[in-house]
A = this chain, B = another copy of it.
Amino acid sequence: MTEDLSAIFSPERLSGGGTGPLYVKLRRTLEEAVKVGRLKHGDALPPERDIAEFAAVSRVTVRKAIDDLVSEGILVRRHGSGTFVAKPVSKVEQRLSQLTSFTEDMARRGMTARSEWLHKGIHTPSPDEMMILGLAADTRVSRLSRLRIADDQPLAIEHASVSGEFLPDPSVVTTSLYAELEKRQVRPVRAVQRISATNMKEADAGLLGVPVGAAGLSIERISYLGSGRAVEFTRSLYRGDAYDFVAELTIGAN
């Protein structure tokens, strides 16, 4: 639903928005509108061209302002459809989603993301888990495996391992692992991930509904507390395009 332009981009709001480049003023104006609730979750922004005309700036300037808010996860764009106010998510979840990019990518494409749990359980750590999470042999680790589904199509398999110290009972996790960790005051501030392409083996290919040997995107991620302590180790296998890189993200202290 398109909001009334003047309600958001009144001259006062634009001029009174402090100093700086035009696109910064516009961004602040939009940010404020969402924060205050003038624009609610799910609302459509006016078309970029309309905003540009009303604010008497070029459309690119409007886009630049929106760009920032999209990369912050506040807005979501849908090509040919419009720009919408995104569902609010927690800071940690939001910033980690920039890293994993699954939720964000799905949202960008206007797809509905859901999950199907394959496994939730508590175990003795595997050698890998001990190494990476820095666990002793007599500790426990929570494992969470799920199938990531977008628009009813399986898109990824995800295996997460969390130190039992941080997540003693994995069954409490329903949707977002990070939201659950945040509830427990566990806030990873950094994550390192490695992304590479592999050929899918039979088990994974079957779950994802692709032929054996199809290209998959393998993502391994370790997230860390501010102290440097590793919190969580996730291996994901995505259907899709292949590339290989290492990304690093610093998450604000909230």
Q: Closest chain B residue to A231 by CB distance?
A: B228
Instruction: List chain B residues, Cβ under 8 A from A225.
Output: 228
Q: Is the CB of A190 within 8 A of B134?
A: yes
Would you call A72 an interface residue if the criterion is a C-beta within 8 Å of the partner chain's C-beta atoms?
Answer: no
CA distance A101 to B137 in the complex (A): 19
Binds B, one of A30-38, A114-122, A125-133: A125-133
Q: Is the CB of B131 within 8 A of A194?
A: yes
CA distance A161 to B194 in the complex (A): 18
Q: Is the CB of A127 within 8 A of B194?
A: yes
Instruction: List chain B residues, Cβ under 8 A from A224.
Output: 134
Q: Give the size category of A's interface with B.
A: 20 to 34
CA distance A132 to B192 in the complex (A): 9
Q: Closest chain B residue to A223 by CB distance?
A: B134
- Per-residue CB contact flags for chain A residues 214-254 toward chain B (1 = under 8 Å, else 0) read 00000010101101111000000000000000101010000
Q: Closest chain B residue to A126 by CB distance?
A: B246
CA distance A246 to B194 in the complex (A): 24
Number of copies: 2
Would you call A135 an interface residue if the criterion is a C-beta within 8 Å of the partner chain's C-beta atoms?
Answer: yes
Q: Is the CB of B136 within 8 A of A248?
A: yes
Q: Is the CB of B135 within 8 A of A192?
A: yes
Query: Given the interface contacts A222-B134, A248-B136, does A227 sit within 8 Å of B230 by beta carbon?
Result: no
CA distance A220 to B132 in the complex (A): 11
- Per-residue CB contact flags for chain A residues 133-146 toward chain B (1 = under 8 Å, else 0) read 01111000000000
CA distance A222 to B190 in the complex (A): 19
Give the contacts of A23-68 with B (CB-CB under 8 A). Answer: none
CA distance A194 to B126 in the complex (A): 10
Binding site for B on A (CB under 8 A): 127, 130-132, 134-137, 190, 192-194, 220, 222, 224-225, 227-230, 246, 248, 250
22 CB-based A-B contacts, threshold 8 Å = A127-B194, A127-B246, A130-B246, A131-B132, A131-B193, A131-B194, A131-B220, A131-B222, A131-B246, A132-B132, A134-B190, A134-B222, A134-B224, A134-B228, A134-B230, A135-B192, A136-B248, A136-B250, A225-B228, A227-B229, A228-B229, A229-B229
Given contacts A131-B220, A132-B132, A228-B228, 5 further A-B contacts (CB under 8 A): A127-B246, A131-B193, A131-B194, A134-B192, A134-B228
